[in-house]
Amino acid sequence: MFNVVVIGAQWGDEGKGKIVDVYTERADLVVRYQGGHNAGHTVVIGDEKFVLHLIPSGILHKGKRCFIGNGVVVSPEALVTEMDNLVAKEIDVTGRLFISEQAHVIMPYHVALDLAREEKKGENAIGTTGRGIGPAYEDKVARSGIRVGDLLNPAVFRDRLHNALDYKNFILTRYFGKEAFDEQEIYDSTLALVERFKQHVANTSNLLQNALSSGERVLFEGAQGSHLDIDHGTYPFVTSSSTVAGGACTGSGTGPGSIDAVVGITKAYTTRVGAGPFPTELKDEMGEMLREKGGEYGATTGRPRRCGWFDAVVLRQSARMNGLTGLVVTKLDVLDGIDPIKICVGYTCGSGIHDVLPSGLEELEACVPIYEEHPGWSSPTAGCRNWDDLPVEAQSYIRRIEELTAVPVAVISTGQERTEYIELIDPWKG
């Protein structure tokens, strides 16, 4: 048995979809364990681009099974749309896709509440995707949510929907001044969607345990990034789930002993979508160059990503709280032709110097990065598939990342294509 967790080591959008796609070849099944359709994992195969939001990108490999775990919040509409898109591209999900009966459901009123809150906050908005993720997780914690398994019993679903709408409509109309939802309309439309995926609903925790017991290899797929974690991220500018490696256990129904390796995905620079502190953000021509060259626009929302230099402080904290055993550095080719290249090695804040990420929002926002400069390279790294093909300056840059984070680099991605990468360490071999 050898099982690997893939997580984002920054603020999300690091390129996890491609790496999950690469690692799926060595796995028997892939488990998505948290988040919702606010995530966007992109895989490029030839001239075809696949953007997946709920279903693990491992579904693109024939014969591989994919689980949507109990820690995920599921939009029935988004799920059915994604399934239809895959089938339209001749990717069969029958007998391969399994959805946890314990996963919570995103209802239309969750989306309405999400949008209304952001609108009311104005300039203080967190920058959510507006897809109802946070409100759905709130109901889960408040023990008032609706789970996927509830949708299979129309009487149970009717009762729980009625109880939920009594409160949600009150808040929407009386506090936010929005329109109320019609119970029958939601009931009918949701059950129509359920007919499309009910054959995929299962006790995925039990199926997962059976797979582990029989020695199958499991790849756990995280969404977003470590610094968006509800407990360990830059609160309150975070998502509503546990994005760190520990979430793989709670979000799938297996124990920590099942995890053998944790691979953190990081860009060769840093990006962030939405509001929140970002010490190395570049609000100049260099930041714009990274955005355009790297195609830094959200796969889910299309929002432009904020761009900045690589932040080793952020990565060191990710290494600690995830127990990283390896790093994947993506988009190295975006730095081709840039000279010099900077790495943040610490922060100054007032009279103090920090080599760890401050937990207080105000303190973090006041931090100024301490940079060291590295020579750039003129020879392209794009498309390189061997370490020796990289310019010596690029090799030095990768080795410096390893030194600063104390984590070995396992893979270097040198382009969008699924074959454009250099593998230095195979996490499946331990």
Q: How far is the C-alpha of 340 from the C-alpha of 323, rounded, in Å? A: 31
The question of whether 41 is a catalytic residue gets the answer yes
Q: Where are the beta strands (DSSP E) in 296-398?
A: 306-308, 310-311, 326-330, 341-349, 352-354, 368-374
Q: Residue 427: how many CA atoms within 13 Å on its side-chain side?
A: 32
CA dist., res. 221 & res. 55, Å (int): 10
Nearest to 15 by CA among 384, 322, 328: 328
| Tokens, residue 429 | 């071999």
| Dihedral sign computed on CA atoms, order 392, 396, 398, 399 | positive
Task: Respond yes or no: is residue 333 known to be catalytic.
Answer: no
Q: How many CA atoms lie within 13 A of 186 on its CB side?
A: 23
Is residue 356 classed exposed, middle or buried when 0-12, 13-18 and 19+ CB atoms within 10 A define those classes?
A: exposed
**Burial profile 203-226: b = 16 or more Cβ within 10 angstroms, e = fewer:** ebbebbbebbeeeebbbbbbbbbb
**Residues 6 or more apart whose Cβ sits within 8 Å of residue 302:** none
Q: Name the active-site residue from 13, 114, 150, 311.
A: 13
Could you give the CA distance from residue 58 to residue 29 in angstroms, rounded to a whole number? 8
Give yes or no for a contact between 201 and 36, defined as CB atoms under 8 angstroms apart: no
Active-site residue, selected from the candidate residues 37, 41, 104, 227? 41
How many other C-beta atoms are found inside a 10 Å radius of the C-beta of residue 127? Answer: 15
Q: List the catalytic residues.
A: 13, 41
